[in-house]
Amino acid sequence: MKNFTAISVVLSLTLAGCSSVEREPVQPVATATQTEATQTPEPTVTAESKPELFEPIPPQLATPVTWENLLQRADEIHAINYNDTFATIERNAPIVESIIVERSYFRGPNLADRHYVELASWLSQTDALYARSVPLDSQIFLMFPFEDVQWAVEKLSDSEVNHPQYRDIVLNANRTPRQGVRQNAVPGLTPGRFDGIWLLPATLDGSYGFSGLARKEAAMLYHEQVHQHQQAQWKDENLNGPNFGMGRATPCFIVEGMATTPEFVLISGDVAEYEGFVRDRVRGAYTSDPNTRDELGNFTGYSPLTEEVTVEFAEAYLKDSFAENCNSGLQYGLSYSLGYLATEALVAIKGYESPMGLLTLMGLNDLSWDEAFENIFEVSWDEAMPLLAQYVSLKSMEYRN
């Protein structure tokens, strides 16, 4: 795992490298012009000014990756992603120092000291990765083992936390000693803010596939923290519902594809180890098991992907990831593998921040997916999708055959 000096958790935002987005509700700033008559002043005329559009920073390469040469340079994509992730952290470090994210950490009385030792350092890296997007406002972290569930429930009512409505989520995540991870917006989120709340378990079940406790905890944190930043791009809206904000219009392939990059990169010691994580994830691609749908319509089991990932299959998957409620569909699990491959191709062309920049345009600037995609990637989604499907198929065939 690469080591970086922990960046302060006192943060600020410069959007698109030049325009500021403040911590108060993100709204276009009204400007007024006034024309004076000889004797009686005319009424003030106001004109809305929209926040400036996000400008991506492509990887610094002697010969850029483009839509035209993506497939020819497929073997370089992992290394480009790996290097650009760390380059983004270093480039954004000065920005991070002026953003304010209020964070509160609570450790259960029976939580061993070995858990989440480097939590603040892990957060500082994700802060830097998304320093040019719409910022978080606050986060609460409850870390505890199964025997401290009652402590966690009671902590919700303390003035330090004050979110007793989160009780059912705490209990549902801790039905058995095999605790679940949860990250959510706080109940009753105020439009104009994104305040997050987390449940961090002491018993990760190994589903993240990494050896060593610190690695498992770091990989989980990096992955789930991306989802908090994703949701924050819509924080000027009412987000108190499952299909609001990001859940309304964002394809599943990019939701999980974005979260997988730091999960892999930031725990890897070098490019080769990172590529090994990607290879193993693609080899282990899975879908939901159609025989495990519960009474709420959710799948509770998974099946290994047995179909060949042809270009046609990959294109059908990308199209399916736009379906309403795609996160409860049969193919949602492919977002962690095939969706990741599609997302890393986007990063190689326009840089690590480009997928989040796309979401910023959708949330802050109210652009549609098609408008935002073409603004960032300079081709239409209809033109890009077949090329992404070819890349996904090419790498899947390489790793799975």
358 assigned to some structural domain: yes
Query: Is the separation of the CB atoms in 355 and 383 below 8 Å?
Result: no
112 assigned to some structural domain: yes
The whole-number average pLDDT for the span 298-310 is 88
CA distance 128 to 185: 21
Buried (b) or exposed (e) across 265-292, using 16+ Cβ within 10 A?
Answer: bbbbeeeeebbebbeebbeebbbbeeee
Query: pTM value?
Result: 0.86
The whole-number average pLDDT for the span 218-229 is 97
180 assigned to some structural domain: yes
The whole-number average pLDDT for the span 283-287 is 94
Per-residue pLDDT, 297: 66
3 assigned to some structural domain: no
Q: Which domain holds residue 263?
A: 14-20+50-91+99-400
43 assigned to some structural domain: no
CA distance 192 to 194: 7
230 assigned to some structural domain: yes
User: Over pLDDT 90: what percentage of the chain?
Assistant: 73
pLDDT, tens digit (0-9, with 9 covering 90-100), for 13-28: 333 333 333 333 333 3
* Sequence letter at residue 399: Y
167 exposure class (CB count in 10 Å sphere: 0-12, 13-18, 19+): middle
Per-residue pLDDT, 13: 36
- The band of 242, judged by pLDDT with boundaries at 50, 70 and 90, is confident
User: Over pLDDT 70: what percentage of the chain?
Assistant: 85
pLDDT, tens digit (0-9, with 9 covering 90-100), for 173-204: 999 999 999 999 999 999 999 999 999 999 87
40 assigned to some structural domain: no
Report how far apart, in Å, the C-alpha atoms of 45 and of each of 30, 217, 238 are: 10, 54, 29
149 assigned to some structural domain: yes
Q: Give the position of tokens 């830097």.
A: 128
Domain count of the fold of the chain: 1
